[in-house]
Homo-oligomer: A and B are copies of this chain.
Amino acid sequence: MAKLTSRAEDYSKWYNELVVNADLAENSGVRGCMVIKPYGYAIWEKMRDELDKQFKETGHQNAYFPLFIPKSYFEAEEQNAEGFAKECAVVTHYRLKTDPDNPKKLIVDPEAKLEEELIVRPTSEAIIWSTYKKWIQSYRDLPILINQWANVVRWEMRTRFFLRTAEFLWQEGHTAHATKDEAIEETEKMLHVYAEFTENFMAIPVIRGIKTPSERFAGADETYCIEALMQDGKALQAGTSHFLGQNFGKAFDVKFTTKEGKIEHAWGTSWGTSTRLMGALIMTHSDDLGLVLPPSLAPIQVVIVPIFKGEEQLAQIDEVAFEVQDKLKAKGISVKYDNRTDNKPGWKFAEYELKGVPIRIAMGARDLENKTVEIARRDNLTKETQPLENIENYIEELLSTIQKDIFDKALQFRDTHITKVDAYEEFKTVLEEKGGFIAAHWDGTAEEEEQIKNETKATIRCIPLNNELEEGISLITGKPSKQRVIFAKAY
């Protein structure tokens, strides 16, 4: 097993190597599309199941809408169409036929041209709101609280594992409401669901905020987001929740009779997270040895490795190890006992470090004698010897401790990488030398935002919710400002 490139040497290379070597994903023969391998998919499944549970607990139901969107639907909401038309997969034909010049080849059958082209969904507002039109007549039909787990396609030119791929997996919530207030409440509620999931489950601290108009979702009146900070000082948007106003209600003519008998357009929200979260997970916690997983997301939480000479010793260890395995399983802990004889313990140690297994238990002949085991933590690489008796309770608590410690470490890194800056030159220096989030004043115009972006590649990640108000002057134009916003370079 080759060592990974270190993060210090080349962060981006480290990331790609980790993704491939830890069996999370690999490139496919299809441009920009990856294969999510079983180990990576198992982590995604844990994320999906937990989010799904939280959506259902907040009153949402799952449904499934078509993969294809007729071009004309796409045109209905201008801003939205504009935002997605430039990078979409277009289905124009519905049949292949044998090439008359070469019977081993297939060609597109020109006679099977679609009357109207179909777009592979880049997001589903258009197809879903065209359906809601049929479902909504009265205030009694509202709210509609629906989520969809699906694949979507955006024809990205430069792709990276999980962070930006032509096809990706995601969930998209689409809700319709009778009032503006209710829709805004929903938008904010789902932002908090995302934030709590990201922090409590993925151990990734996030800033909750709203986007500036130029960073908004195409078709939204307001975009809320959670922003995480990666180890290399770049930000990563980990989830968005959009207040759509009546934009889609109007574009798709979704009207309802209010309690008072008036006719109004429905108010909407949409909110999404994707396999991008896998990238956030990797770049928040992992190290030069490989993946570091919070226990709540680890497909294998504990691995037991026997240290033995000869079959007899292995048989003795087996006996105790299987007992420990059973006790841990009884507590709902996922555990693997790796007693394969074709790889040395050192090889196994490296393998499970690469894969981010939170706890490794090593058991050797001396441990058997002393009725102890050696416990190694993946997150901080510490080792200790513990009595075998009641080891399952110790492990259970240790998993909680690790979950908390991983979050605290990430939080400390994040908090020490929020820099208040008041001058543009200092802004540039901090951005280059330290990176991270920069809290600075902004004059509120798209022009200043654009200039900063062009000159430094930093964008306004968000205006934090419940932001502290503070008089100041903006970075470039020196105009008065009432609050700091969060800048960063971003993934």
Contact = CB atoms under 8 A, between A and B. Distances in A.
A71 B95 CA distance: 12
Contacts of A91: 89-92, 120
Interface in A178-231: none
A405 B212 CA distance: 60
A61 to B, nearest CB: 4
B30 A167 contact: no
A67 interface: yes
A146 interface: yes
B62 A42 contact: yes
Contacts of A42: 61-62
A126 to B, nearest CB: 10
A226 B167 CA distance: 34
A85 B103 CA distance: 13
A415 interface: no
A158 interface: no
Interface stretch (A104-112, A261-269, A313-321, A369-377): A104-112
A95 B30 contact: no
Contact of A90 (B81, B96, B169): B96
A151 B153 CA distance: 13
A74 B151 contact: no
Interface in A97-122: 97-98, 104-106, 108, 117-120
A400 interface: no
Given A36-B64, A41-B61, A71-B96, A89 B118 contact: yes
A346 interface: no
A294 to B, nearest CB: 21
A75 B131 contact: no
Nearest to A28: B66
Contacts of A29: 70, 73, 127, 130
B167 A33 contact: no
B95 A169 contact: no
B75 A105 contact: yes
Given A64-B41, A75-B105, A87 B94 contact: yes
A134 interface: yes
Nearest to A103: B78
Interface residues of A, number: 62
A45 interface: yes
A26 B65 CA distance: 10
B167 A66 contact: yes
A251 interface: no
Given A29-B130, A33-B66, A64-B169, A95 B87 contact: yes
Contact of A62 (B45, B63, B150): B45
A418 to B, nearest CB: 36
Given A35-B63, A62-B41, A92 B94 contact: no
Contacts of A28: 65-66, 127, 130-131
A344 interface: no
**A62, A74, A89: which has the most chain B beta carbons within 10 Å?**
A89
B81 A108 contact: no
Contact of A120 (B108, B120, B155): B120
Contact of A71 (B66, B106, B131): B106
Contacts of A45: 62
A38 interface: yes
A68 interface: yes
A320 to B, nearest CB: 26
Nearest to A65: B35
Contact of A66 (B35, B38, B85): B35
Most buried by B among A86, A94, A97: A94
A93 interface: yes
B85 A97 contact: yes
A298 interface: no
A34 B151 CA distance: 16
Given A42-B61, A85-B95, A95-B87, A33 B68 contact: yes
Nearest to A93: B90
Contacts of A63: 35-38, 41
Nearest to A147: B38
A94 B26 CA distance: 23
Contacts of A153: 67
Given A28-B66, A38-B61, A90-B96, 15 more contacts: A29-B127, A29-B130, A30-B69, A33-B66, A33-B68, A35-B66, A67-B151, A67-B167, A74-B106, A75-B105, A85-B96, A85-B98, A86-B97, A92-B108, A108-B117
7 contacts: A33-B68, A35-B131, A36-B64, A71-B96, A85-B96, A86-B96, A89-B118
